[in-house]
Amino acid sequence: MAAESRFSIPRESLDGIDAFPLPLTGIEHFWLWDDTSQYPKRFRVALQFIGTIDWDAWSEALRLAVSRHPMLVAHLTSTKPLQWVIPKDPAIKVCWGKGDFGTSPFESAMDLQNETGLRIWGGEVDKNHPNAKPDPMALPTGTSRTNPEPMALATATELQAAAAKSTPEASDDGSGIPAPKSRYFFVIECHHAVSDGLGLRQCVGEWIVIYDRLTTQGEGKGKLVKLDPMRLADRGLIKRPPPTADSRPPTVLESIKLSFSFLSLRPKKLASSERLQLPLSNTANHIHRVLILSPEDTDRVLSAEAVESATFNDIAVAAVLRMVVHWNEKQSLRSTSEAQNKAQRLRVMIPVDLRSIQDMRMPAANRLGFGFVVADSQACSDRQTLIARVFEQTKALRQFGLGWDFPEIFNFVSRMPKLAKWITRIPLNGATAVVTNLGDLTRRHRRQLAAMDDLYPRCGDLKLEAVFCVPPLRPKTLMGIGLCRCGETLAIGMILDGSRFSEDDAKELLDAYAKTLVTLSRNNEERSE
């Protein structure tokens, strides 16, 4: 991997400098208080392309896209009260070389007082990698047309090193001589205090569109949405959805009961493997894995919501609950120290988008709340019961605006920083797992691109093959799942606490989750084994 460098963003090119300085919101305070060296509050989004890249245009497109989102280049002040400011020489850390989703080339922790909350690395995949595959959509990175069970990767690098062992796809550059195409893998890491995944998705989508314009002489249709950076001042405002006929905001007594119920419940953790029990280190020790479902299984999963009257998110959460129950039962059989028939109470954390229609022109920022879905092991055994229970809880989150409670609480608690910091240090087991769905990264930008290739976005001579993401972890929340769609395929990313799980565990867990997700999406499913 090449050495890291500073990628300058000219200050005069930034939109919305007049909006700064900006005070921190309650949720931004939370992400900073909860940020530790063992569990950094940074999430990752990765892009995989095939084609030939124009590096000058790629860099210029990145510069222009980031310039539209000033929070991505902001620093924290060193004095209190903390504020976001634009430095004199804005720059993000980049490292152009070999892309690796699981390993960051940056050794230092992210210091938001001296650098931005955005880092990017990647480049052409290593064609000489011993595990390189000719096609990322083929086995063992996805599922075959004849074998419905997804197969996981041996390492995160295998998917990125998808180039060779066979002749790569070729293109004609006009000279009559076929030019071999390369695969490129880029990882974007962002601190949650500066943006959530949806905000970063907007910026990355614009990066792709601008690159397309620069390399195709502006042949794309439509213009980029005109953003309003002055709306960043309202990013901390909590606007609950108006109550409907069958919903109402909870009373104070109900809120107290809900809070007590949340704090008193100790959800079952994902059971650690007996094969690995390491002490916590002073640095993050996380395992990242990725997997791509076949187009057939992707269609089965995404079309299941029409049959079940539930959303894709509901089915994705239900799959986590069932997979964890089976995994924990399997681990209990290996250990005599735990009762095998003990009921499991599980809790999955899911992000809740707080953006309203008026926020569509807001640049990248953090506008997320959080909700929780709870189930016991008995409910997870029956498919219909499980999906219905998850659906009812996510419906309640939307109807009663429960996802808005979390940022509201921290807007209040941030006025007492010592208390708030103490709260974030309480070793609560908030959730068994985290599930996030980034959706289709380029869905809102497709009409702005010059061409599509069988539903896969094409920018210049690059075809976007896959998008991946993973959320950050908290102590005692040992697993995170990220879901992304690109073209006809669904990609699954997984992050695990490496101090509690091995690479073999990660392979087994990711394979089990993909298999459970596909199985739950089938009609008339019999009880899974």
pLDDT at 528 over 50: no
* Ramachandran angles phi, psi of 429, nearest 5°: -90, 85
Please state, in angstroms and as integers, the Cα–Cα distance from residue 156 to each residue in 255, 424, 457, following that order. 42, 31, 23
For 32-66, what is each residue's pLDDT tens digit? 988 888 899 999 999 999 999 999 999 999 999 99
DSSP 454: T
Beta pairing, strands 91-96 & 83-85: unpaired
At residue 445, the pLDDT reads: 80
At residue 168, the pLDDT reads: 41
The Cα 97–Cα 94 span in angstroms is: 10
The Cα 471–Cα 315 span in angstroms is: 18
More confident residue, 529 or 125: 125
The answer to whether 43 touches 471, Cβ cutoff 8 Å, is yes
Place of tokens 């029409």: 306
Averaged over 72-87, what is the pLDDT? 93
In sign, the C-alpha dihedral spanning 212, 215, 218, 219 is negative
The Cα 195–Cα 361 span in angstroms is: 15
pLDDT at 337 over 60: no
The Cα 202–Cα 118 span in angstroms is: 14
The answer to whether 477 touches 432, Cβ cutoff 8 Å, is yes
At residue 139, the pLDDT reads: 27
Instruction: Report the chain's mean pLDDT, rounded to a whole number.
Output: 79
The Cα 122–Cα 53 span in angstroms is: 13
Closest CA to 62 of 112, 121, 113, 125: 121
The Cα 510–Cα 518 span in angstroms is: 12
User: Where is mean pLDDT largest: 61-70, 258-267, 275-284, 302-311?
Assistant: 61-70
* Radius of gyration, alpha carbons of the chain: 23
At residue 165, the pLDDT reads: 31
- Strand extents, DSSP E, 65-181: 75-76, 83-85, 91-96, 118-124, 170-172, 178-180
pLDDT at 150 over 50: no
Confidence of residue 171 (pLDDT cuts 50, 70, 90): very low
SS3 helix, strand, coil % of the chain, rounded to 5?
35, 20, 45
At residue 306, the pLDDT reads: 58
Pick left, alpha or beta for residue 124 (phi over 0 → left; psi -120 to 50 → alpha; otherwise beta): beta
At residue 128, the pLDDT reads: 43
Q: What is the three-class DSSP state of 154?
A: coil
The Cα 213–Cα 119 span in angstroms is: 24
User: Where is mean pLDDT largest: 261-270, 295-304, 391-400, 518-527?
Assistant: 295-304
The answer to whether 320 touches 263, Cβ cutoff 8 Å, is no
For 110-136, what is each residue's pLDDT tens digit? 999 999 999 999 998 865 433 333 333
Place of tokens 């300058």: 8
Confidence of residue 483 (pLDDT cuts 50, 70, 90): very high
Closest CA to 464 of 482, 451, 481: 451
pLDDT at 394 over 90: no
Closest CA to 438 of 108, 119, 45, 14: 45
Structure token digits, residue 175: 């000279």
At residue 200, the pLDDT reads: 95
More confident residue, 372 or 131: 372
The gap from C-alpha 513 to its chain's centroid, in whole angstroms, comes to 16
Beta bridge partners of 49: 184, 464
Q: What is the pTM of this model?
A: 0.84
Beta pairing, strands 479-486 & 433-440: parallel
* Amino acid (one-letter) located at 325: V
DSSP 167: P
Averaged over 331-346, what is the pLDDT? 64
The answer to whether 7 touches 91, Cβ cutoff 8 Å, is yes
pLDDT at 279 over 60: no
Helix axes 503-520, 312-334, angle to 10 degrees: 130
In this structure, of 23-37, 205-219, 405-419, the range with the lowest mean pLDDT score is 405-419
CA atoms within 13 A on the CB side of 107: 3
Beta bridge partners of 76: 84
pLDDT at 521 over 90: no
pLDDT at 338 over 50: no
A 10 A CB-CB count for 339 gives 8
At residue 4, the pLDDT reads: 75
For 211-251, what is each residue's pLDDT tens digit? 998 998 766 566 788 999 999 999 988 777 666 655 555 56
pLDDT over 70, % of the chain = 74
Q: In a 10 Å sphere around its CB, with 0-12 CB exposed, 13-18 middle and 19+ buried, how is residue 388 labelled? A: middle
Q: Concatenated DSSP letters for 434-453?
A: EEEEEEETTGGGGGGSSEEE
Helix axes 503-520, 383-400, angle to 10 degrees: 90
In this structure, of 34-43, 67-76, 112-121, 419-428, the range with the lowest mean pLDDT score is 419-428
The Cα 319–Cα 525 span in angstroms is: 13
